[in-house]
Amino acid sequence: MPPQIPATSAGATPPPPSVSVVLPTYNEAGNILDLIDAIERALATNLLEIIVVDDNSPDGTWRLVGERAAKDAKVRLLHRTSERGLTTAIQAGIRQARGDVVCWMDCDFSHPPGTLPRLVANLDSGYDLVVGSRYVAGARRADRCSHAGLDEQGDHEGVESPPRPELP
């Protein structure tokens, strides 16, 4: 059951968007469960689904995700055994997504889950597409992609908002 959104004196508050996060994985057994936990903390809402698209990773990433999906309704596994590739994995995840908003990110914590709320908030303010980048003002980049020792802001924490377009 979706959370109840309180009305304000200015009228009813629009409901938050539902969010699908697509996670392509190949040999991410060491990261994937920590990343799912971090995404669920960052987007602490029932209106969330996490779609892991794994290409039959030899390290058994798909098995860990399958076990998690069995007890966590927010997690879905797409286990591909006849196709391999990052781009088609993301495409397959997007096709399965049911959210108003669809995000995708790498699973080695090089894309910090802590930026997801800001990315989604920028969409709320009228943008159709929001991209996180290490190159925007204020961003920083660590020398390594392991999440050990990084906070959930991770190593690329910039989110750029271009000038607001005129909406029709």
> Six-digit token pair at 111?
């894309």
Question: Please, which of residues 98-117 interact with ligand GTP by CB under 6 A?
Answer: 106-108
Burial group, residue 87, by CB count within 10 angstroms (0-12, 13-18, 19+): exposed
Determine phi and psi for 21, rounding to 5 degrees.
-115, 120
Among 22, 43, 49, 55, binds ligand GTP (CB under 6 A): 55
53 is a site residue for ligand GTP (CB under 6 A): yes
Q: Name the β-bridge partners of 64.
A: none
Shortest CB 7 distance to ligand GTP, Å: 41
Residue 23: helix, strand or coil by DSSP?
Answer: strand
Part in contact with ligand GTP (CB under 6 A); list of ranges 13-21, 52-60, 121-129, 158-166: 52-60
Query: Tokens standing for 79?
Result: 């286990």
Residue 85 sits in the site that holds ligand GTP (CB under 6 A): yes
Residues making contact with ligand GTP (CB under 6 A): 24-26, 28, 53-55, 84-86, 89, 106-108
